[in-house]
Each structure stands twice: as structure tokens, then as C-alpha cells.
A and B are shown apart, each in its own frame.
Chain A
Amino acid sequence: MDERLTLLREIQELEFAMVDLILFLDTHPQDRAALRDYAAVRDKHMVVIKRYEEIYGPLSFCSTTPVKCPWQWLEGPWPWEIEYA
């Protein structure tokens, strides 16, 4: 569970960084440094998402990880069942 939480936390951090960077890019669409950093965070995000989903199953219904049998979507814990503390 610890590694799962660590990965989830890392995904949250990377997604937050992406959100803040895309807000900046909305008003500065030609800023090369911001574009470079956005691309770097997005690439890292894809790697971490892949690692998480390979072990713990899909994070979203459009996840690109292989579909396994049985259907993994119903396997817990659900976000509200996770002890984040």
C-alpha cells in the first residue's frame, strides 16, 4: 500500500504542476521555457501513470493499460477508502 500511495502522490504532484503550467501557457503560448517544462512534466507523468497502472490497474476508464481478466475497475480501494494520512 505504501508504494501505491507514493505513486498516487507523485501523480497528484505532477498533475498539479501540469495544471499550473497550462494556465501560464494559456497566456504565454510562445514561451519556450514553459513549453519545455510542461513537456518534461507530462512525459514524467506518463511514465508514473504507466507504472501505477501496471501494478494497481487503470486510473481512468480511458487508461491504455492492457485489459485484464477479471475486470479490474471494481477492485478497491476506491479513492475515499484510502487512508492518506
Chain B
Amino acid sequence: MTAKNPKRPPSRTAPAVKGKNIAEAPLEVKSQTAEELQSEGVYPPARLAQAYVIWQKYGRTYKPAEALEKGTIFPDLYSPYPY
């Protein structure tokens, strides 16, 4: 027998749903905005991240030999690490 991992938190039983077996309980999906979740303290008071990229336009390209050295054929995408 292996010893129980002392760091492992005690297993908790799933919270019971009133009057129903948990497997039969309907899935309740409540739609909430980030603002509502923040007012409940679920989200920290910060804005959600919004990612975007600029649409690439085709322009000048490196010659194949230079592109292989630089890792891209597009001058717009050439961005070497500063070390």
C-alpha cells in the first residue's frame, strides 16, 4: 500500500442538487456579462483582453536567399530579437 499524499487536498463530494440526482440535473447556463461577473467579484476589475491583427498587404519581398536568412520573406514581419 502506498501512503496517501499528504499534500493532496481531501476529495470533496459534488454538491447535491435539490431533489435530483446530479446526473439528471438540468444544465443551467446563466448568461452574464463581464460587468455582472465583476460586480459579483468573480472577475477582477479589469478590461477583458481584445486581440486584433492588422490585415497584411502584399508589398516588397526579400529575395529567397535573404528570406531564408531572415526567417521570413516579408520585410513587414522581420523582427529579430535584439540580442
Contact = CB atoms under 8 A, between A and B. Distances in A.
B74 A24 contact: yes
Contacts of B52: none
Contacts of B58: 24, 28, 31, 33-34
Q: Is the interface of A mostly helix, strand, loop or mixed?
A: helix
B56 A17 contact: no
Interface residues of B, number: 10
Interface string A48-83: 000000000000000000000000000000000000
B21 to A, nearest CB: 49
Q: Is the interface of B mostly helix, strand, loop or mixed?
A: loop
Nearest to A35: B58
Contacts of B68: 12-13, 16-17
Nearest to B69: A13
A22 to B, nearest CB: 11
A20 interface: yes
A21 B74 CA distance: 9
Interface string B44-67: 000000000000101001001101
A8 interface: no
Contact of B64 (A17, A33, A34): A17
6 contacts: A16-B68, A17-B64, A17-B73, A21-B73, A34-B58, A37-B61
